[in-house]
A and B are shown apart, each in its own frame.
Chain A
């Protein structure tokens, strides 16, 4: 058990809808990272938050947004969903945020299926 909790485990919805994925980091970790893993794209970094502030941005679409709350949990919002958004979304956390030299601990992921 990595200590990173993601909910829900599975999500099935339709195109055009909006969903929210939730992540609770390990106790003591200040950074939260979001990744998208699909069969054809591999593991793609989306965004990182550190202590409530956006720290780094990767290949995140404008339809997607995220935030980190004062209790350090994070939410990833996906809107106007398309079939291609079907993927496994991982959250990871680490102690640090500057230098990024800390290993990341991953959650079990949320499997999003768009019908």
Chain B
């Protein structure tokens, strides 16, 4: 069965420091992977998807099939990046999305 893990429940970094939010998945095929972000008291929003290979708000994520990882990175964190981040997996087989447990990023001034 597919599964998404995010080992860190909480990650605190200082403003301007690099940040990496870890995501590992287990799936036998080639899934599509997403990062969603939820700012305080707001809805979940799609941040990026691996298939589009784009950079949103300075964040990038690279799919590493060998390590089955899809870590989210930003070279210089900003205070407004403080939010809950969810990694999600979508298999192409018609099964439902699987979300990871989420990592709360706190960027300190």
> Which residues of A approach B to under 8 Å, CB–CB?
2, 4, 33, 35, 42-43, 45, 48, 55-56, 58, 90, 92, 97-109
Contacts and interface: CB of A to CB of B under 8 A. Distances in A.
A102 B97 CA distance: 10
Given A55-B96, A90-B43, 6 more contacts: A2-B45, A42-B102, A43-B99, A43-B102, A45-B98, A90-B44
Nearest to A108: B43
Interface residues of B, number: 23
Given A33-B96, A42-B101, A42-B102, A101 B46 contact: no
Contacts of A102: 90
A75 to B, nearest CB: 19
Contacts of B46: 103-105
B92 interface: yes
Among all A-B residue pairs, the 7 with the closest Cβ atoms: A56-B96, A106-B44, A106-B43, A42-B101, A43-B99, A103-B46, A100-B90
Contacts of B94: 55-56, 97-100
A96 to B, nearest CB: 10
A98 B95 CA distance: 8
Interface centre among B44, B46, B86 (most CB of A within 10 A): B44
Contacts of B54: none
Given A90-B43, A90-B44, A104-B46, A99 B96 contact: no
B99 A2 contact: no
Nearest to A105: B46
Nearest to A1: B43
B70 interface: no
A115 B98 CA distance: 31
B54 to A, nearest CB: 12
Interface string B81-100: 00000100011111111110
B25 interface: no
A111 B99 CA distance: 20
Given A42-B102, A43-B86, A43-B102, A104 B97 contact: yes
